[in-house]
Amino acid sequence: MPTTGEERSMRVGCPKEIKNHEYRVGLTPGSVREYVAHGHEVIVETKAGAGIGADDDTYRAAGAKIVATAKDVFEKSDMIVKVKEPQPSEWAQLRDGQILYTYLHLAPDPEQTKGLINSGVTAIAYETVTDERGGLPLLAPMSEVAGRLAIQAGATSLQKANGGRGILLGGVPGVLPAKVAIIGGGVVGLHAARMAAGLGADVSILDRSIPRLRQLDDIFGGRVHTRFSTIDALEDEVFSADLVIGAVLIPGAAAPKLVTREMLTGMKKGAVIVDVAIDQGGCFETSHATTHSDPTYEVEGIVHYCVANMPGAVPVTSAHALNNATLYYGLQLADRGLKAIAEDRHLRAGLNIHRGRVTNAPVAEALGYDAYAPEAVLNVA
């Protein structure tokens, strides 16, 4: 792996995703062409792109080498590019000196964190890489997808046959539409509000940033209600809502539990909550991660939709959107190795674990580890 200013070819590996109903792929054929154009060797597990309609021949035409198993990818690659956090069988194959570039969501996941620490890998989390505006550019495209999907999932879950109240989100002439409460006015909340308002629902967004609430009010021109989030306001909105979207994010940290089990008893029976924050542990006390094959469960008469990889349901859209965002930094890592992290503060923000040490403060605090500054552990010549 290149760790100095000297550039050389890197072997970049892309295994097939193995999380339940995860159809996205870490590298699209178009991204493979870019890595190859930079002089790197790309190793792709057979059928890794099947979920987006990209067969092995398409990857070969882009310049990739196709291998039979994930074991081949992990053994032969200097850098692993994925979508979702590595599963136990995957983190067991990672090794010291290897770079892992993917979503991690470590704060609510002590087992994965321990596995990555023990592996000695250098792990960069998409969700904590930053940009010049203080945004999270590699999380944003999936937040856009998840925000929009949250309304589709919520609308479906509201149908009586699916356990919901039996309400059409947009209503019809003479019948009121569903009331939608969105907790959090960030990227997820914005896109959820756009979808819900577009379908004709009565939408409210709660947030604790007054400047952001002003911005949202300007964006929607009064079509969406904005409320400063207090305990009283949260209860008002949750109790009156037919659909509640949890869209809270504290970068790298576990999501705060804003809606308690007790609050569920004040909600309408058959109301639906969609917890988009579930990757970070969820913002409802009663949330636990579900899958696309078994997406919902009921607590206190309230339908919970807590799928931890929502964008995986629309892999063609989401894989291309994700690759558009991750390609630039991926090429930097392939071209320059650890030196790219050392010299780019935005990539350093993405460094969560390096050779057995936790380098992201919120993750360390959430899980009880000592936090090491990335600059102190990289030791780049």
Catalytically active residues, by annotation:
105, 279
**Nearest 10 degrees: Cα torsion 182, 185, 187, 188:** -10
Q: How far apart are CA 138 and CA 308, in angstroms?
A: 17
Q: How far apart are CA 380 and CA 55, in angstroms?
A: 39
Which residue type is seen at 104? L
Under DSSP, the state recorded for 211 is H
**Nearest 10 degrees: Cα torsion 175, 181, 185, 186:** -100
Which residue type is seen at 243? L
Residue with tokens 């792990």: 123
**Element housing 332 (H / E):** helix 315-336
CB 45 within 8 A of CB 54: no
Tokens of 50: 């099947």
Kindly give, in sequence order, each residue whose CB lies less than 8 Å from that of residue 111, ignoring residues fewer than 6 positions away: 88
Which residue type is seen at 245? I
Q: How far apart are CA 78 and CA 153, in angstroms?
A: 38
Residue with tokens 């194959």: 93
In sequence order, the β-bridge partners of residue 181 are 204, 244
**Nearest 10 degrees: Cα torsion 15, 16, 19, 21:** 160
